[in-house]
Amino acid sequence: MDQARQAILRPRQAAYLEGLGPARAELLLEMEELARRKNLTISAPPVGRLLSILVQATAARRVLEIGTGIGYACVSLTSGSESVRVTSIDRDAEMLRIATGFIERCEVAERVELLCGEAVDQLRSVQGPYDMCFIDTDPRDCRRCLDLGLQVLRVGGLVIANNLLWRGLVAEPGLEGDRDSEDMRAFGGYFVMYPQLESIVLPVAGGVGLAVKSTHLTTDVGGPF
């Protein structure tokens, strides 16, 4: 059972929801097993399912992913439409090597561009507009990645931020010294108060922020002024 979901829900409700989910593709199950065996972080299965549904619902053609890992979310995104193309960024070359193998096996490599490097550097060179931006990176980088990602996201495009509830820890008192939890709690507030976003936080897995870019940034129209 997904630990992030279990941390937010009571065990009985978490088990019930686990049983409701549709059967997942064999490749996704293999990726989940690899993550368990090697203690790797991947998007929770419900988040992967949500990403696939959002691609279908919005007819997204271009998606920007910040934080590839072993490619679980990327594979989920490409499963949403045969037309979607994904640009995915990660600093870890070994994770990208593993992701490449899975992406090739599901025969979507021609629709995926993998970029190796720090997200804040790579985001300055990607060319928009994108229809969707998925942020699943280190808590300390999330705010800057949101700022830069929004610059290449079209008005009306979606932003999905993973793990906003950080296994429920953001609601716990006494976070002093827990840098990741502090950073994610600060990012959660930043996300929902962002003036160009209409947003909500969903208690899915470790918490998913979902927002639409409702207005232009000043940089979209030639600013700052």
Predicted local distance difference test score (pLDDT) of residue 219: 72
Q: Which CATH superfamily is domain 3-221 in?
A: Vaccinia Virus protein VP39 (3.40.50.150)
Is 5's pLDDT higher than 60?
A: no
Least confident of 114-118, 183-187, 194-198, 221-225: 221-225
What's the CA gap between 9 and 5, in Å, rounded? 6
pTM higher than the cut 0.95: no
pLDDT tens, residue by residue, 55-97? 999 999 999 999 999 999 999 999 999 999 999 999 999 999 9
Instruction: Calculate helix-pair angle for 26-38, 45-58, nearest 10 degrees.
Output: 140
The predicted structure's pLDDT at residue 33: 97
| CA-based end-to-end distance of the chain | 50
Query: Tens digits of per-residue pLDDT, 146-156?
Result: 999 999 999 99
Q: What ranges do the domains of the chain cover?
A: 3-221
Statement: residue 14 has pLDDT above 60:
yes
* pLDDT band at 222; cut points 50, 70, 90: low
Instruction: Band the pLDDT of 225: cuts 50, 70, 90.
Output: very low
- 79-83, 175-179, 200-204: the lowest-pLDDT one: 175-179
pLDDT per residue as tens digits for the range 27-60: 999 999 999 999 999 999 999 999 999 999 999 9
Q: What is the CA radius of gyration of the chain?
A: 17
